[in-house]
Structure 1
Amino acid sequence: MTIPKLLQLAKNNAGKSKPVRAESDGKEATIYLHGVIGGWWGDIDETMFAQALAGIDADVIHLRIDSPGGDVFAARSMMTAISQHRATVIAHVDGLAASAATGICMACDEVEITQGAGFMIHNAWTIAIGNKADITKTADLLGKIDTGLAGDYTRRTGKDETQIVQWMDEETWFTADEAKEHGFADRVVEVVNKKKAGNQWDLSAYSNTPAALLQPKNTADDGEAIIAHQSALSRRLALLERAPA
């Protein structure tokens, strides 16, 4: 059995980020979403995010995003929390918004992307076990998820849904300028006199990752955290491998 792409994505990026962190300064607040989305197997727990967001009494909330994606339902929960908050919520794509992370951007009032950052949309993935009827139901569910995501992108960008679906089918990666051109972002921010932006995520689970993003930049590792996270993911994978076909 090959490692499902979802678990591969999570396992390869385990322990590279910190849990949800929020900072507040008067009328503005910042939440850092740097990690894999989804509390069951990622770094960003949707419940912790919703609680942190609900506890903020500010006029403007900045979401600093650098994420290779994650659980689409966890992202949907976060999107709901964002849309129901009274504050103006601004997404800042600091490095990467891929997969489920792009949905979070769509729920924000404004989206700002750093020059050199990336933005990727594709069709939903899942892990399925069962007979042919179970697999068929799972495929139907994935189709509904894709339709919902396509609707989010269409409403935000104003693009024809056929074009959005094609981009999702092809796993399309956009540069910052392309994300703005096609309506996924409102503006591109130049970073002047700063270190060159680099990708910290292992994106080998995806099919069309640009070559420049396939070599993650070196980051300081918290060895114990990485080992613990990878061990937990390995146990979950082992359960799937032992499940009857």
Structure 2
Amino acid sequence: MPDPNGPDPDSGVRVLHINGPIAEESWFDDDVTPGLFASELNAASGGVTIWLNSPGGDVVAAAQIYNMLMDYPGHVTVNIDGVAASAASVIAMAASTVAMSPVSMMMIHNPATLAVGDEAELGRAIDMLASVKESIINAYQLKTSLSRAKLSKLMDAETWMDARAAIDMGFADKLITPTKEHAGALDDPADGEPAEGGPAATQASGGGVVFSARAADRQLLNKLTSHQSMPQPPVAEERAGRRLVDLYADLAQRTK
């Protein structure tokens, strides 16, 4: 059985895998670490194809892997076959060529952290996150050539992109070519029109879908608040009547 991290017998290009969360250290051998990836990347020379499927993770560890790929002398292809989310999307930006499966997704958002302390400590955490965001935008801008303002807004919205939208905006270069005979259907939908986007989704010019989680949350909140503010049906007034004790008192008065 051929080594899954060995060279592709058809092309001579080595195949590597980033499958799982990105972390500085792996506690249960289920994380991808810079040290582990470096040993695999530098085990030989020549071009590499990296199959990427990761929800993201530690931004510093992802930055290390990004720099390894940027510095690697051979041609680097990243094939996204599942999801490249958060810090994993930054890793993809280092590739010479980014290809996405027709059913894969890419997600970019603002960095996050946990902070405990007084006002000064929390202020430093906010400043740190702002700096980290700027460094991430550097990677996105080098790949996409989009403006920093545009990229910042996409991150603010926690933006999900299908393959076509990612290609249209420059985050990816091409689709992973299907081998089925009906692959042409990807270019020409059956009805000649792009598929309808879901809530808070917009069509990219190439027919892809960009989904904003922040916008979806806002729409849901607006629906809930509008429902709560709707006039409620009037409550029927209770019929007026006399208490039983009053009836007994009245009867006692009449019998005197």
> Does TM, normalized by the shorter one, top 0.5?
yes
The Cα offsets for residues 1-47 of structure 1, whole Å up to 9 and x where unpaired, read as: xxxxxxxxxxxxxxxxxxxx732347310111110111436611111
Aligned to 2:94: 107
How far residue 190 of structure 1 moved from its aligned partner, in angstroms, is 4.4
- Paired position in structure 2 for 1:70: 57
- Supply the AA of the counterpart residue of 2:147: D
TM-score normalised by structure 1 residue count: 0.67
Count of equivalent residues: 177
Task: Give yes or no for the alignment of 1:155 onto 2:142.
Answer: yes
Secondary structure of 2:84's aligned partner: strand
Q: What fraction of aligned residue pairs are identical, expressed as a percent?
A: 29
CA contact (8 A) 1:24 1:56 kept: no
SS in 2 for 1:55: coil
SS of residue paired to 2:134: helix
2:213 equivalent in structure 1:
208
- Counterpart CA distance in 1 for 2:24 and 2:148 is 31
- Residue 164 of structure 1 corresponds to 151
Q: Which amino acid aligns with 1:86?
A: P
Task: Decide which of 172, 187, 194 is 1:185's aligned counterpart.
Answer: 172
Task: Quote how far apart the aligned CAs of 1:192 are.
Answer: 4.7
CA distance in structure 1 between the aligned counterparts of 2:93 and 2:102, rounded to whole angstroms: 19
Alignment deviations for residues 188-221 of structure 1 (CA, whole Å, 9 cap, x no partner): 1243559xxxxxxxxxxxx929x9xxxxxxxxxx
8 Å CA contact 2:79–2:176 kept in 1: the answer is no
**Displacement of 1:63:** 0.7
Kindly provide the CA deviation profile for residues 48-71 of structure 1, in whole angstroms up to 9, marking residues without a partner as x. 10121111222x100100111111
Letter in 2 for 1:40: E
Decide whether the 8 Å contact of 1:31 with 1:62 is kept in 2: yes
CA RMSD of aligned residues (A): 2.2
Question: Does the alignment pair 1:117 with 2:117?
Answer: no
Q: Distance in 2 between matches of 1:47 and 1:71?
A: 14
Q: Which stretches in structure 1 are left out of the alignment for 5+ residues?
A: 1-20, 195-206, 212-245
